[in-house]
Structure formats: structure tokens, C-alpha cells
């Protein structure tokens, strides 16, 4: 098999491609036999995958070395040329929806492609291109503003991401001071944060109106490719979180406060364990070697998968000069393989890359049999099931990474996952309120955040911090600015990953089979259909929701008891 390093890159001629695509679309429309229409459908899909492959390759190469002038140029070429193709693809979408043999094509390739195309057509139109550009500009402005915030703390200038490890310090006074330093800078830029969001809300509302929506809520759902649930379902679901999760998290927060000897937990007291959160104990190289052993033992297919990831050189994990920050999993069609990119930093995040990102990659690896590029990854609430569940499938082996911190890691993992739900749904409800009331002032909007947050997370106590008191917490959450309505997806997937956790405790092999079957379906079905494939109950089903949360809560209490026993013994 061809390795990543053996890919020979040459720039595709996107102008010629566009001309050929237009010709193919005309022929597709005019096809009077099923076979002809089917062949053209497949050709268009293949060609698009081929260009996508070159594009992904360029993105990977550039993120591996941002000083590489050649790939910087190539990236610019794609950035300039790709948007020009979008009206042509829209035309193909319309042609598919009106295809003479649509019924037959649907029967062979699945309904999901056509359902997604229908939504795509609703949200793209030549007329709104300037508004979309404006939206991108504002989103970039937010990112720039945030990345330029510098905090002078403890003898060092730091950016926002450099501050987050300090919030896990075991020294409370240090955490408090770090938090003070950070929010002192945040409140200085709050007027700008307010202005950018205000403009974003206006632009998105105008976009929605131009495209015939009442407000941006449904448009946001359509953008996320949600074909099987709506805002009413989500409203009900958020109610389940308030009813079943919030009271349990309140109990656990109390327990943690007592264990740490704190009377009141303030906003800077997110530390889970008095003596610090779990950290990996081995070198990055050892971790990768241990991950291979883990995947060999987990199942035959994961063993083959991980060996292939190493053999094809499609994991770039270690920190290096000139590498872009962050991490991702993408797909390179030329070698029919996913690619994982990350920057190891010595925290438990490194283990997450080897489990979470590998979960995304394994699903993609299992889905390369699909002819349609649209089916390589599912919509995001489904995609996060594979990654978050793989984090749990790895539990039997995480002692390799965490040694004496293993029990602490497991307890911390479940706690963080459960604690995330009230915050996750707050972010979603806030956005719905915002877009249903697009003309209220920035002050009122921030007050609205506090009200929502109090509903789901009543334990949050602010210790004299104006930025939080005036409702600014959400302004740190990039998704609200850059990917509206995305955030709820993490919580939906978490509910599904919890169910896998429960299943693996009952029957590990059966749980794995359900998971593997789900991975092989890729994005060929919608969320609710995929849940059926995996024998999972829908997060919109109250009974299943309550049972899952009960199980997790009991598990947390069991792990707490074990952890306390361990503490007492040492
Ligand atoms: Zn993910």
C-alpha cells in the first residue's frame, strides 16, 4: 500500500475540473437510461473525492510545517478556487433532487445523500454570498481578538490556552490569582466581544430571512445537516438534563468540595482532586507503542487498523517547531486512509488523542468502502459517538499510560463527562434564546446567559469577578461565535457513549460488535437510524436517558469509594 510519504503531489487544474463537472452535470440531467445516470453520478463523486484528496493533502502538509512556502502557495490556490466551485455543486445537488432515476439512485446509494442535499440547497444561494463572507470575517475577527489576548502572570506573558493548565493547580490561591489575571484582561475586550457577536447575530438573522426562514434557529439546524430531529426535540432533551443530571452533579460537586475541605466552591475551583488531576506517566514514544498493544488486544480489526496507521505514516502526533497548533482527523482518498494530526503536551490530552481521535479515524477507516465521499464521516452528533465511546473502550488498557493514577483517571473521566452536560445544554439554550430575540442589547443578552446557566448549573458561585457577574462566561466559547448550534452535538454523543460504557460493563464483546457495526455505516444514515444500527436508545427518549444517567451516577459513586479506599491505604 502507498504510504503518505510516497504521495506525489501535483496541483489539480480546478478550472478545467469545473468545466468538466458542468459538462457531466448536463449529461447527468439529460441521461435517459438508469445506467448512464448512475455512471455519471459515480464519476462526479469519484472526481470530487480525487480533488478532495489533493486538497486534504495540502492542508495536512501545511499544518505539518507552516514555514513551507510551496504548500503555503498550494493552500492559497485551494482557498481561492474552491469557493468558486460551490455554485456548480449546488447545481449538481438540484440535478440529483430532480433526477429522472432518483428513486433508483436512492435505493442503491441511500436516502441520506438526498436528504442532506435537500438541506444544503436550502442554505446556499448566490444572493447570500456577501452575507456569508461577512459572517466569515466576523468569525475570523473573534479568533484573532482572542488569540491576541496576553496575560501577564507569574512572571510570564501567556495566551488564553496557556492559562487553562494553571486552573488545575493544586494551590487554591494560585488558581484564584491566575483566574483574576485572566478575567481582568477579558473584561477589557468585552465591548469588542459584544460588538462582534451583535453583528454576527444580525448577519445570521438577515441570512435566515433572505433564505425564507423565520429566524436563524431552523437555519442553524439545517446547516448542521439535522434531518431527523428539530428544536422542539432538543428543548425536551434539555429538560431531561435539568431533571436528571443537574441534581446529581450538584451532589457530586458537594462531595468534591468536602473532600477538598472547601466550604464554598468558587468559579476557580474546578479541580477534581485535592492532589491534582491524573497525568500520563510515560514518554510519547512509549505511549504510541502501548497504544498498538492496546488496539491489538481490543479486537482483531483495531489491531490491523492501528498497524496500518503506523505503516502508512498517517499519524503526526509529537510537538515540533513550525507545526500548527491543535489536532484533527481527516481523510486522504489517494491512500484510502484517515490521517491524525496533533501536538502532544504531556497532559492526559495525549491519551485522548490516542483514543478519541483514533476513534474518529477507526470509523473513517471502516467507512472507506463507500463510493460517496459524503458517507466517509457522519453528521457531528453521530461522529462524536465513535470518538467518545473509544475513550471508554480503552479503559481496560489505560493503566499502561497512567500507572498509579489509573483509578483517578477513570473517576475523573466519568466526572468530567457528566459535568459537561449541564454546561453543554446551557450553551445551546442560550443560542436559541439569542436567535429568537435577535434585537436585544448586549447587556440583556449577557443577563440571559446568567439565567440559563443558573437553571442548569445552580452550583456556580462567582467570587467577585465582574466579567462573570455580568454574564460574560459564554464569550470564551468559540463555538457560539464560529459554529452556531454545534455544541449540543457533544452532549448527544456523550449520552450514546455512556450507553456503550454501560453495555461494555454488561457484555464487552457484544458492545464491541455493536460499535464496529456502527463504524461501518459511516455517514450513510441519519443520527436516529445510526442509533438503531448500534442498538442504542435515543437521547430524546426519557426512560432511556434516565436509566443511562442513573447507571453513570452509580458508577461514579463506586469509583469514588474505591478511590477513597486507595487514599486511606496510602
Ligand atoms: Zn471529536
Per residue in 141-183, pLDDT (tens digit) is 998 898 889 999 999 998 887 888 888 899 999 999 999 999 9
Which domains does the chain carry? 4-127 (1.20.140)
What is the 568 CA–ligand 1 centroid distance (Å)? 37
Contact 474, 194 (CB under 8 A): no
pLDDT value, residue 95: 97
What is the 265 CA–ligand 1 centroid distance (Å)? 30
β-pairing, 151-153 vs 156-158, is antiparallel
pLDDT value, residue 363: 98
What is the 483 CA–ligand 1 centroid distance (Å)? 15
- DSSP E strands in 270-349: the ranges are 315-316, 328-332, 337-341
d(CA 514, CA 214): 40
What is the 358 CA–ligand 1 centroid distance (Å)? 9
pLDDT value, residue 324: 83
42: nearest Cα among 105, 90, 99, 100: 105
pLDDT value, residue 225: 96
pLDDT value, residue 487: 96
What is the 569 CA–ligand 1 centroid distance (Å)? 37
What is the 490 CA–ligand 1 centroid distance (Å)? 8
What is the 356 CA–ligand 1 centroid distance (Å)? 6
pTM: 0.94
d(CA 390, CA 478): 25
pLDDT value, residue 327: 83
What is the 57 CA–ligand 1 centroid distance (Å)? 20
Rounded to 5°, the CA angle 77-78-82 comes to 125
What is the 159 CA–ligand 1 centroid distance (Å)? 24
pLDDT value, residue 375: 96
pLDDT value, residue 326: 78
What is the 386 CA–ligand 1 centroid distance (Å)? 8
d(CA 495, CA 161): 27
271: nearest Cα among 166, 343, 367: 166
**What grid cell was written down for 238?**
434539555
pLDDT value, residue 200: 98
What is the 272 CA–ligand 1 centroid distance (Å)? 23
pLDDT value, residue 39: 97
pLDDT value, residue 142: 93
pLDDT value, residue 3: 97
Contact 423, 226 (CB under 8 A): no
What is the 381 CA–ligand 1 centroid distance (Å)? 10
Length of the chain: 570
Rounded to 5°, the CA angle 435-441-446 comes to 75
What is the 424 CA–ligand 1 centroid distance (Å)? 15
Contact 100, 33 (CB under 8 A): no
d(CA 155, CA 95): 62
d(CA 360, CA 354): 10
Backbone angles phi, psi at 79, to 5 degrees: -60, -35
What is the 382 CA–ligand 1 centroid distance (Å)? 10
Parts of the chain with a pLDDT under 50: none
pLDDT value, residue 533: 97
What is the 380 CA–ligand 1 centroid distance (Å)? 8
What is the 352 CA–ligand 1 centroid distance (Å)? 10
Amino acid at each position: 500500500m502507498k504510504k503518505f510519504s510516497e504521495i506525489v503531489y501535483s496541483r489539480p487544474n480546478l478550472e478545467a475540473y469545473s468545466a468538466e463537472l458542468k459538462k457531466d452535470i448536463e449529461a447527468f440531467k439529460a441521461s435517459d437510461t438508469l445506467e448512464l445516470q448512475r455512471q455519471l453520478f459515480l464519476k462526479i463523486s469519484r472526481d470530487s473525492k480525487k480533488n478532495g484528496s489533493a486538497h486534504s493533502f495540502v492542508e495536512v502538509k501545511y499544518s505539518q510545517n507552516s514555514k513551507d512556502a510551496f504548500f503555503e502557495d498550494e493552500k492559497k490556490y485551494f482557498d481561492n478556487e474552491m469557493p468558486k466551485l460551490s455554485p456548480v455543486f449546488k447545481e449538481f445537488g438540484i440535478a440529483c433532487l430532480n433526477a429522472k432515476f432518483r428513486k433508483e439512485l436512492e435505493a442503491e446509494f441511500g436516502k441520506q445523500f438526498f436528504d442532506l442535499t435537500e438541506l444544503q440547497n436550502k442554505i446556499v444561494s448566490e444572493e447570500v454570498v456577501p452575507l456569508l463572507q461577512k459572517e466569515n470575517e466576523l468569525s475570523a475577527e473573534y479568533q484573532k481578538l482572542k488569540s491576541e489576548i496576553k496575560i501577564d502572570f507569574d512572571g510570564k506573558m501567556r495566551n488564553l490556552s496557556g492559562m487553562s493548565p494553571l486552573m488545575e493547580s493544586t494551590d487554591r490561591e494560585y488558581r484564584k490569582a491566575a483566574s483574576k489575571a485572566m478575567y481582568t484582561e477579558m473584561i477589557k475586550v468585552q465591548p469588542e466581544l459584544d460588538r462582534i457577536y451583535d453583528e454576527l447575530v444580525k448577519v445570521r438573522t438577515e441570512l435566515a430571512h433572505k433564505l425564507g426562514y423565520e429566524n436563524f434557529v431552523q437555519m442553524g439546524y439545517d446547516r448542521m445537516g439535522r434531518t431527523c430531529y428539530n428544536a422542539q426535540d432538543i428543548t425536551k432533551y434539555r429538560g431531561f438534563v435539568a431533571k436528571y443530571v443537574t441534581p446529581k452533579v450538584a451532589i457530586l460537586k458537594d462531595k468534591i468540595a468536602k473532600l477538598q475541605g472547601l466550604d464554598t466552591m468558587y468559579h476557580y475551583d474546578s479541580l477534581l482532586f485535592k492532589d491534582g488531576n491524573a497525568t500520563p506517566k510515560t514518554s510519547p514514544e512509549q505511549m504510541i507503542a502501548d497504544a498498538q498493544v492496546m488496539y491489538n488486544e481490543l479486537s482483531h480489526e483495531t489491531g490491523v487498523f492501528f498497524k496500518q496507521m503506523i505503516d502508512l505514516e498517517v499519524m503526526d502526533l509529537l510537538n515540533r517547531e513550525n507545526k500548527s497548533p491543535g489536532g484533527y482527523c481527516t481523510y486522504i482518498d489517494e491512500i484510502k486512509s484517515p490521517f491524525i494530526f496533533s501536538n502532544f503536551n504531556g497532559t492526559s490530552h495525549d491519551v485522548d488523542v490516542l483514543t478519541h481521535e483514533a476513534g474518529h479515524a477507526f470509523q473513517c477507516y471502516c467507512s472507506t468502502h463507500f463510493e460517496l465521499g459524503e458517507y466517509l464521516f457522519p453528521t457531528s452528533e453521530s461522529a462524536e459517538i465513535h470518538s467518545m465511546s473509544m475513550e471508554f473502550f480503552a479503559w481496560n488498557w489505560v493503566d499502561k499510560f497512567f500507572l498509579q493514577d489509573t483509578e483517578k483517571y477513570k473517576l475523573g473521566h466519568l466526572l468530567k463527562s457528566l459535568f459537561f452536560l449541564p454546561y453543554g445544554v446551557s450553551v445551546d439554550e442560550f443560542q436559541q434564546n439569542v436567535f429568537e430575540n435577535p434585537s436585544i442589547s448586549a447587556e440583556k443578552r449577557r443577563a440571559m446567559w446568567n439565567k440559563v446557566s443558573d437553571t442548569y448549573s445552580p452550583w456556580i458561585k462567582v467570587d467577585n469577578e465582574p466579567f462573570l457577574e455580568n454574564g460574560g462566561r459564554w464569550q470564551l466559547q468559540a463555538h457560539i461565535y464560529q459554529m452556531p448550534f454545534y455544541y449540543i452535538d457533544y452532549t448527544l454523543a456523550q449520552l450514546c457513549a455512556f450507553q456503550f460504557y454501560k453495555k461494555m460493563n454488561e457484555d464487552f464483546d457484544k458492545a464491541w460488535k455493536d460499535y464496529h457495526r456502527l463504524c461501518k455505516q459511516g455517514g450513510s444514515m441519519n443520527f436516529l437510524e445510526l442509533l438503531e444500527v448500534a442498538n442504542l436508545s435515543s437521547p430524546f427518549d426519557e426512560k432511556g436517558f434516565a436509566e443511562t444517567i442513573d447507571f453513570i451516577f452509580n458508577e461514579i459513586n463506586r469509583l469514588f469509594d474505591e478511590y477513597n479506599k486507595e487514599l486511606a491505604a496510602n
